[in-house]
Structures are given as C-alpha cells and as structure tokens.
Amino acid sequence: TGLKPPVIIYLSSSSPSFQPFPNLSQLSAALGGLSGVPELEVEALRPVNLLQERNLLPPRPLEAPEPNLTPDLKKVNCSPQTFRCTLTSIPQTQALLNKARLPLGLLLHPFRDLQQLPVITSNTIVRCRSCRTYINPFVTFLDQRRWKCNLCYRVNDVPDEFMYNPVTRSYGEPHKRPEVQNSTVEFIASSDYMLRPPQPAVYLFVLDVSHNAVEAGYLKYFCESLLENLDKLPGDTRTRVGFLTFDSTIHFYNLQEGLSQPQMLVVSDIDGTLMVNLKESKELVKDLLTSLPAMFSQSRETHSALGPALQAAFKLMSPTGGRVTVFQTQLPTLGAGKLQSREDPNQRSSTKHLGPATDFYKKLALDCSGQQIGVDLFLLSSQYADLASLACISKYSAGSVFYYPSFHYIHNPAQLEKFQKDLERYLTRKIGFEAVMRIRCTKGLSIHTFHGNFFVRSTDLLSLANVNPDSAFAVQMSIEDSLADSSLACFQAALLYTSNKGKRRIRVHTLCLPVVNQLSDVYAGADVQAITCLLANMAIDRSISSNLSDARDALVNAVVDLVTAYKSNVSNLQQSGLVVPASMRLFPLYILALLKQKALRTGTSTRLDERVFAMCEFKTQPLQQLMRMVHPDLYRMDNMSDQGALHLNDTVVPQPHLLHLSAERLSRDGAFLMDCGNVFYLWIGKCCNEMFIRDVLGCPNYASVPPNMVSETNEHFVANLLKASLFFSLRDDASAKATFFQHLVEDRSESALSYHEFLQHVQLQMSK
C-alpha cells in the first residue's frame, strides 16, 4: 500500500516518565481483565468458506474452547493455562482421530506461577493401587469407603485418614477434601518420595571472561544484577553458590568463610569446597562480584575453553546437583567440545546445520541430568556461535536457553535492556530441583512423543534436573484402544520436585474431557491454537530429522488434509471453495504465520543461530506466549469510543477490537498497538489525533515526536496493559520497522505468500 509508518515506538516499563492518558488506565484494566468469549458449539461447527469470509478474527483474543462437560465438571477442571488438549472432545478411536486429520496432544505449563494453590499435608497421599493415579475431582465415590479410579477404573479403598477434611474440619465427607475439589493441588511428600535427602539450592555461575566477552561488556551487568538480587535467590540457610570464569583457562574462586578476600585458583584438582554456603560467605561473594568486572578488563585472551569449563562445572556440582548458569559470547575454540563455524556468511538463508555438530554437549547434558544438574545457557554473541550444538547442554538437562544476537552494552541498548530484565526474572523466579514429571492418561490413550527440554526416563516419565515456571511442554498422544467404555477421558500430570527450601513436593494437575464418537463433535471441540502449537513443535523436529522444506510441506498438508476431510466427511456441502468448521477458521492463517517465523521461513535472510534460537523457543514457550509471537494481537488505540464499551460498575471501559495483521488495517490518522507477547509496538500515524499524542506520549503534536523516540511508559500502565516483559530499541529504527512489518503476516513479503495467495495455494494442492 506504500504506507510508511512514521514512528514506531517500543514501550518499555523501565522509567515512569510521562503521565498516562487518563483513559488508558481504564483501558489497561479492560485489557488486563478481558476475557474472550468461548464460542458456542453451534457456532464452532458453522461451515466457513474462507474465500468468502474475510473478517475471521474474534473481537477479543481467542480463548481456549470450553469442553462440553456438565457445569459441575467444568467448574473444577484444570485451567487451560496449565493444561490444554488439541481436541477438547476426544475421539473414541484412533480411526475416528485419523478421519479428522487433526493431531491429538497436550500442551502443558506445569510449574507456572500460580496465585492460588491448595497445598496438602497429610500422612497418606491417596493414589490408585493399580495405576498410581493421584485421587482427583474426576474419580467416582461408590460409597463413603470406596472410590473408582478414572484412569484405569479400579475400585480402591478410602483410607481412614481421608475421612477427615482438614479444610472444613469435619469427618465423613471424603468428596469434600481439597484433592477432590481442585484439579491442581500440591502435596508435601513424605520420605517415600525421596531417593536421598532433598538437596539444598545450589547455584554455580560459569562466566566467559575472554576478550570477546569483555568487548561485549555483559559481565558488569551480570555482577550488578546478581548483587542486587543476591537475597532474592530462591533458597534457605543451606543455599550454596560458586563461581567459575574461563577464557583459554579455567579460574576457580575460593570463597570459604574466614578468608579476608576471594582467592582465585587455577587448579586441576577441584572439589566441592569451592561451592560455599551463601549465608556464611556472603561478604566474600559480594567482594568477588564487585571486583570481577575489573579483573578481566584488560584481557587479550581470545580463546574459549567452554567445554572444559562445563566439565569442571559438572565435577563441582556432581555431589549435590543444582543449577549451572553459563554465559558464553563466542564459538568455543579450545579443548573438548570445540567447534568450527558452519555458517556460510555468503549464504545466510541456508537451512542446513540445524542439528548439533558434535554429541559432546548432549552427552555432558545427560551426565548432568543423571546428577540432577540443570544447565541454563545465556548466549550473548554477535558472531555465529553454533547454538545448534551449544543448546544441547540445556535441552537434555531441562535447562533454558537465552540468546542476545549482536549483544553490546553500548551499541545495542535494546539487547542490554532485555538482558537485564531477563536476568532479574531468571535469578528470582521459582525453581524446583531433582524433579520428575509423569503423565498418566485414561486406559486406551498413550503417549507418543514429548516436546520440550528434558531427558526421557521412560515412556511416560521425564527427568527434569531443574524445573522453572517459564517452560512448557507438549505431548503427542495416540489412541491404542477404543475409549468406548467411558464418556470421559482424563489426563494427569504429576511433577515431583524439591522446593528451594528443601521440601519434596508433588504438583498434580488433572484434566477431564468428554469422549465422542461423531466426527462433527471432534471438530466442534477442536482447539485451533493448541493444534497450531503442537504442529509447530512437530515441524521443528521434522526440520532437524529431515529438512526444512519437508517440515514446511507437512504444515501446508495439515491444512489441505483438514479441508479435504471436512469437505468429504462432514460438511455435506457441494459448494466449492475452502470450507472449514468455524472452530478451525483461523487454522490456515496460523499456519501461514508459522511458515513466516524465523524458525521455519525460507528466502529471507535468517542467520543460523537466530533460526535455531527461534526453534528452541517453539519447543519451550507456553502456548499463550507462543501464539502471540506467531500471531500478535493488533489493536487500534486512538479512537476508542464508549460505544460497545464494558460497563464495570460506574466506569465505562472502551474495548478495542482485534485487527487483522495487515498494513491495510493501518491508517495515517490512527495509533496501533501490537502485542507480541514479549515485546509490543505502538505505531503512530502521521495524522493521528493530537490529543492522543499529547496524552500518551507527552509531546505537543506529531511533529515534535522525535523520530527515534523511545517511550518509557508508566510502569503501572504497562504492567496492567500487557503483563509482559518489554524492551525497546533506540537506534535501529529501520530494523524496528522491518520487524513490525514482518508481523503483518497476512501481507505478502518478498519471499512469502499473502494470506489470500496462501489460500489459493492450498486450493491448488487440494486439486492435485
């Protein structure tokens, strides 16, 4: 359309420097409290001809569809933010599932931060004697003394202790116990759930101090952040910490209480005494963090012995387990695990080398996992560092990966800001140690494949050396035996972990869904976002095990298959065109959006490490976050009227409508907000209402808005508005614009189809 956005502003929550628009606080309350309306079942089945219907978006962000259950079951079911299934009506047989041509799987965010969590302390944790399922709201009580398991149908006795309800302090009401009233609960576990005494919180920081690291300048910010958050590290009086720095050699630090100052050691004979009690050695730790940045500021050492440093870290941590946090700024060049560049600088769009170059990092990660050590990687590198190989250290030890391409403390303030925000969250977020997660499901269903960062211990059991509240998992399922015996299917995820206070705990989530035998019911209950996320995970695996074009074809075929199956088996419509059930009307759009993501796109220049990082994110981000990254929410902000507004008590709250992601929807007289989950953009048109500019940006008019303005918005506004972590870019305005426009996924780009062209492509594929 030739429309040039004059100003793009990244909003940042860092400094409250302007007065928020008076109405924005209302708006933020509205957006924060907005809940989309789940679609009615009748609507979900309405055939939608995609070639004719253009306005497909709901007014508000799409919510998870509600399973078709009785109100009682609905009320107690697990939150979709924790546990979601791609099909909220489970097909009775694999044959029916095959017919639907939709994937069956779970999206799980098991350790997310919760406001409310019933914690149960009791001598007996009631479980099915046959399949070990934890008692849950979906079991049936045959009488006061017997309950029937909802997963394997065995009849179990109710133990005496269970007859007493600690919440109501009454006897004889087993069905009122919190375990059977809440589908998410946490048990304090007894010693039966321990292989050894629970470990304390142990944190080791492994820091790159090579010349390259000094140039990038991250160390000072890391030390500052850790100093600031030292007392907020999750743990208790037993918490231990240690530090290790490396360039071509490895340096250890003796921080034993009683020393007058930290001692640097370059030894080969290391032992556990280098991990010190944080409380006892706090002053020495502070000393070290204060002096570290200066210690290496003159370093000329360009080599990086990351592999040996990780091996040393493994040795230090083996006796206890715990968390290793690695900061790396370049390709490792020395010793075990050294790597060579595989990126051809002349061929940025290459889609080769998506897998690791060596199994060194995977093997070490498996050793770590065996000793309950999780390894998290912060990669801050402007050059290719082979993330495909390095990420294995976190992937198989249940760690997290953070990546800051072209990190530089002066030249790239946006990355620095993001790094600081991420670090603060990282250091202070909840953590669980020596964890395992088991997924059980109703007899007949079985687990096919897991996605995420973990080590698979057995078919239904994941080893998680560490568990954090920001990581999610996906699980592909299949139907082995007919589910005809029951009208309900249940899934239970049980996460057994050691809290940072050294307590064994079990967090249990149970999800209940109806079983159906009609294809139309399967479609009516399809959860298009969950399906998209599961397919995204599958596509990542496929692009590594096969190749990228194969993975992309599979995604397009998923759309072709759905349209074909729906047309021939359900819709009974003779009309031509692309017809899908309303529940799946956004499917082709979401798939197109997936194909345009860094992880899966072709054509456009995508650096190898950036692609690999995007792939890592697909595998570990929770659904809500991933969907906003793939298909952001776009709103017009400047002309919200009271028409159609919510009336909350006496306050009128205007409600902006979601807009399609196309430049056609932007106009010069408007202001538009794009919510991408971890970043959001405010796009301001040239002829935008001056009152809005004045009130929101604190500038008298459009002309006075600096072209590179970074709006550091009011903390409260941002917190309420998007509840996201944000960052802004000051200098690379052009790249900000490019990024903004890349998110307009319905538009054609140099190398990718527009939405309309994509539909035509699907139609063409169908006729083949």
Ligand X SMILES: *[C@@H]1O[C@H](CO)[C@@H](O)[C@H](O)[C@H]1NC(C)=O
Q: Does 259 bind ligand X (CB under 6 A)?
A: no
DSSP 499: -
Q: Which of residues 645-684 bind ligand X (CB under 6 A)?
A: 648-649
- State yes or no: residue 602 binds ligand X (CB under 6 A): no
In this structure, what DSSP letter does residue 231 have?
A: G
Tokens representing residue 93 in the block = 């047989």
Cβ 154 vs Cβ 140: under 8 Å: no
Residue 140 within binding range of Zn ion, rule CB under 5 A: no
User: Which range touches Zn ion (CB under 5 A), out of 144-152, 308-316, 631-639, 746-754?
Assistant: 144-152
Among 68, 318, 569, 763, binds ligand X (CB under 6 A): 569
Burial classification of residue 114, based on how many CB atoms lie within 10 Å of its CB (0-12 exposed, 13-18 middle, 19 or more buried): middle
Site for ligand X in 61-80 (CB under 6 A): 76
182 binds ligand X (CB under 6 A): yes
If one asks whether residue 149 binds Zn ion (CB under 5 A), the answer comes out as yes
- DSSP bridge partners of 326: 206, 377
Residue 35 binding: pick among Zn ion, ligand X, none (C-beta 5-8 Å cut-off by kind): none
Separation of alpha carbons 383 and 386, rounded Å: 9
Looking at the Cβ atoms of 148 and 716, the one nearer to Zn ion is 148
Q: Least separation, in Å, of the C-beta of 746 and Zn ion?
A: 48
**How near is the Cβ of 59 to ligand X at its closest, in Å?**
12
Q: Report the side by side order of strands in the sheet with 146-148.
A: 140-143, 146-148, 155-157
* 451: β partners: 474
Distance CA(444)–CA(485), nearest Å, equals 10
Find tokens 């808005």 and name the residue: 705
Confirm or reject binding of residue 507 to ligand X (CB under 6 A).
Answer: no
Q: What is the dihedral of CA 349, 354, 358, 360, to 10 degrees?
A: 130
Position 315, amino acid? K
Closer Cβ to ligand X, 52 or 639, answer by number: 639
Nearer to ligand X, 549 or 704 (CB): 549
Tokens coding 366: 């498996």
Identify what 412 binds: Zn ion, ligand X, none; CB under 5 to 8 Å per kind.
Answer: none
One character per residue 6-35, x = contact with ligand X (rule: CB under 6 A): ----------------xx------------
Yes or no: say if 324 and 313 are a contact pair by the CB < 8 Å rule: yes
How many residues in the chain?
Answer: 768
546 touches ligand X by CB under 6 A: yes
Binding to Zn ion by residue 488, rule CB under 5 A?
A: no
Which range of residues in 153-161, 242-250, 403-411, 673-681 is near Zn ion by CB under 5 A? 153-161
Give the per-residue contact string, 103-142, with ligand X (x = CB under 6 A; - = no): -------------xxx------------------------
Angstrom CA distances, 172 to 51, 135, 151, 165, stand at 60, 17, 25, 8
**One of 290, 568, 704, 735 touching ligand X (CB under 6 A):** 568
Rule CB under 6 A: choose which of 303, 323, 451, 636 binds ligand X: 636
For 593-609, the three-class secondary structure string (H helix, E strand, C coil) is HHHCCCCCCCCCCCCHH
Q: Which is nearer to ligand X, 649 or 767 (CB)?
A: 649
Distance (Å, rounded) from C-alpha 493 to C-alpha 460? 10
Distance (Å, whole) CA 61 – CA 683: 20
Residue 23 C-beta: closest distance to ligand X, Å? 4
- Applying CB under 5 A, the residues found at the interface with Zn ion are 128, 130-131, 133, 149, 151-152, 154
- Applying CB under 6 A, the residues found at the interface with ligand X are 22-23, 76, 99, 116-118, 178, 181-182, 546-547, 549-550, 564-565, 568-569, 636, 639-641, 643, 648-649
